[in-house]
A and B are shown apart, each in its own frame.
Chain A
């Protein structure tokens, strides 16, 4: 009997173990069976990413990490180059007709979908129309002005607009993914189309297989005209999922991956200094850190208070301590990365707590109780507490503002709460960092135009003057006149101190230079080194 019991236990344990292993083990690498090649092959580029692909539908996805994979599969009309200027991708060129009311793109004729069909104007028309029909992603906002789309031949697409909008072609060209009409049109409602298998793309790489939570394998498109030689030198790109940037850094150092998709934090970049294989590439940002003042606050509605606050921020100290000097100070609301629009006539408000005090005194504020703070002038500063840099900025701002007699309350909260409060205008000062602005006009329209309810007018500004200036510039298709108008808006925002721009961060991307070379970095952490164009230029080191 004893032996039988023992035997039963052994069998049960063995069965349990086999079942458990079998459950995972059998399906383990099943998805990858078709990929064939292993990482022992020198032309496999392994990239670290922080999350799984949440949505494979490029017309709908809004995730940064999704875009690293999807942008390599689905072409865009334009790309952004190292200097933040738009460069041709699927479109060879674009122009405006009818006084700016028609945007015309001329496409290349050598892009092909991986099923052999050519990429044609009808694909572009279909993609845009589906975005408009189902209101997909953020691109839908950029198509607001479109009345109709024509594809008179295979390489021409015409967008008829209700009114001229100067950066229309740039915005749509850069943001809109082009999908194969012959594949997507049979999916019906594209807002519900997951596109999670049998991928057909026209970028340098196309997804081949995936093991969720672990890796995404992309195979080379044998026909990609923007790669030297007509196809990428790397035969396979593999994205591996890591929980956070620190683990990813360990994986890069251990040789598990060849590059990091996310930027290396400034504080951690030094850890790579002693590793001869790892190289860091520095790129600028398309967004910037800033303080935005809520105009519905009775104090912040006053220009003098906003200016005094701008004088109370020790931006240089912030850059030095928070970013270890690796950022550029800004004066107006347009990032200096857009060189054509950089207004050198304006200078940042100098850090001057005494000057700020004098300005507030002149505006009628008093310190009646002698506590060192102006009476009744207590202002909250809201931020996302998961952003370590901005949290530190708020702390330093509080300390420097106190020297100017301004009492600030730290109101940094959990991210969702912060976003909800921001959306509802429940804050005094909003300390945050913009994500990606690909052109100044979209930025100004989004942040200051009072009649743009979908924008991010966190000032809650309602200014006839600004509305007029923005609408006037938006309809100006002459490039030179446009630049002048943008610089003028820049000046007004600076004088009014609607916001205090803080810094444009530099991002650093790390990769194993002993194995791969040739990356073409683009500004921002959204694009960085993992754009379609960049991946198509990479070559293995011999």
Chain B
């Protein structure tokens, strides 16, 4: 098990390094540099050079890369070009919002996806199954921003049931603040859950159908165990294993989806920060945010793998 954990940890570190390196070089392959966006009226070459020097962009690329890695190893994500503040502070300011949004969506997807998948499998071929499959397939085709905009226009603007932007009513305190928080969370979470739910429920349905056909389930039936117990205790425990992998993968999609959702709903998380930083070519902020997200996803995937190994010792072999 120790060897397994070490191997997974090494792979995680390698993945993060690849994410850091590719983000670093991809950003610099983009046309222009941060000063390109500042040319409005006069900007002498001296001023542009001074800005590039301030940003450290006047040095050779490899030198910038080595220096960036060195700083990273000391836990320094750099200083934002535009905000002139430490990137770590900027991101930590936004990260709780993204964790709240993506975390709530993740929990809800699982909580709703499991009953849908199981119910569809148990009722295989029946109307209920066809309806749930139809929902799953349709949800699979949904695109986060489209769903988010539809929800925003209909439930936010037309019906006025939910706020159309922000994360909380600024003038609330105490319990009212938490209610406001939940109120603002409904539409962004719903848009993420609707999109994630389809693949999750369908995968679970397929696994469940397979498991329900296994000998040990038939044996349980012969022993006189109730259908409910067979399905939810014996069946689900095994069917959920492959779905664990999907959960890990979904975390990545959730984070990506959060970027789009946060942009549509003006939600103040890391996703929104990335959107703004990309518009300003603020390299340190973009790099820092991507590293944070990459680390989050990699850790989640590593934990999923390890959890999988704990639940199913065969894969450690």
Contacts and interface: CB of A to CB of B under 8 A. Distances in A.
Contacts of B47: 135, 140-141, 454
Contacts of A39: 170-171
B170 A62 contact: no
B165 A211 contact: no
A193 B172 contact: no
B167 A24 contact: yes
Interface string B192-214: 00000000000000000000000
Contacts of B85: 194, 196
Given A13-B107, A135-B46, A251 B177 contact: no
Nearest to B279: A51
Contacts of B44: 140-141, 144, 453-454
A250 B42 contact: no
* Residue of A141, A243, A256 with most partner-chain B CB within 10 A: A243
Given A28-B177, A32-B170, A446 B266 contact: no
A527 B168 CA distance: 29
A213 B163 contact: no
Contacts of B165: 240-243, 247, 251, 256
B314 to A, nearest CB: 23
A34 interface: no
B42 A420 contact: no
* Residue of B50, B94, B153, B268 with most partner-chain A CB within 10 A: B268
A247 B100 contact: no
B253 to A, nearest CB: 19
Contact of A27 (B51, B96, B107, B273): B96
A54 B43 contact: no
Interface stretch (A15-23, A324-332, A389-397): A15-23
Interface in B85-127: 85, 90, 93-94, 96-97, 99-100, 103-104, 107
A20 B168 contact: no
Name the interface size band of chain A.
Answer: 35 or more
A63 B282 CA distance: 13
B7 to A, nearest CB: 27
* Residue of A17, A27, A214, A446 with most partner-chain B CB within 10 A: A214
* Residue of A39, A453, A454, A456 with most partner-chain B CB within 10 A: A454
Contacts of A199: none
A276 interface: no
B152 interface: yes
B83 interface: yes
Interface string A239-257: 0111100010011011010
Contact of B42 (A138, A196, A212): A138
B257 interface: no
* Residue of A25, A193, A238, A256 with most partner-chain B CB within 10 A: A25
A59 to B, nearest CB: 12
Contact of B41 (A54, A253, A435): A435
Contact of B178 (A25, A144, A211, A452): A25
Interface in A21-55: 21, 23-25, 27-29, 32, 38-40, 51-52, 54-55
B97 A213 contact: yes
A57 interface: yes
* Residue of B96, B104, B156 with most partner-chain A CB within 10 A: B96
B303 interface: no
Contacts of A32: 170-171
Nearest to B281: A416
* Residue of B44, B48, B103, B167 with most partner-chain A CB within 10 A: B44
A419 B36 contact: yes
B261 to A, nearest CB: 11
B157 A38 contact: no
A144 B43 CA distance: 11
B157 A214 contact: no
A215 B165 CA distance: 11
B164 A254 contact: yes
A214 B79 CA distance: 22
Contact of B163 (A142, A211, A256, A436): A256
Nearest to B32: A420
B24 interface: no
Interface in A279-334: none
Given A20-B100, A28-B181, A55-B83, A456 B94 contact: no
Contacts of A193: 84
Contacts of B40: 62, 138, 435-436
A514 interface: no
Interface string B25-57: 000001110001111111111111011001000
Given A213-B272, A215-B170, A20 B164 contact: no
Q: Return the 3 tightest CB-CB contacts between A and B, nearest first.
A: A213-B268, A454-B44, A141-B42
Given A28-B181, A214-B170, 13 more contacts: A21-B100, A21-B181, A54-B83, A192-B84, A212-B94, A213-B167, A213-B267, A214-B268, A238-B170, A241-B268, A250-B152, A416-B281, A454-B46
Interface of A: 13, 16-17, 20-21, 23-25, 27-29, 32, 38-40, 51-52, 54-55, 57, 60, 62-63, 134-135, 138, 140-142, 144, 191-194, 196, 211-215, 217, 238, 240-243, 247, 250-251, 253-254, 256, 414, 416-417, 419-421, 423, 435-437, 442, 446, 452-456
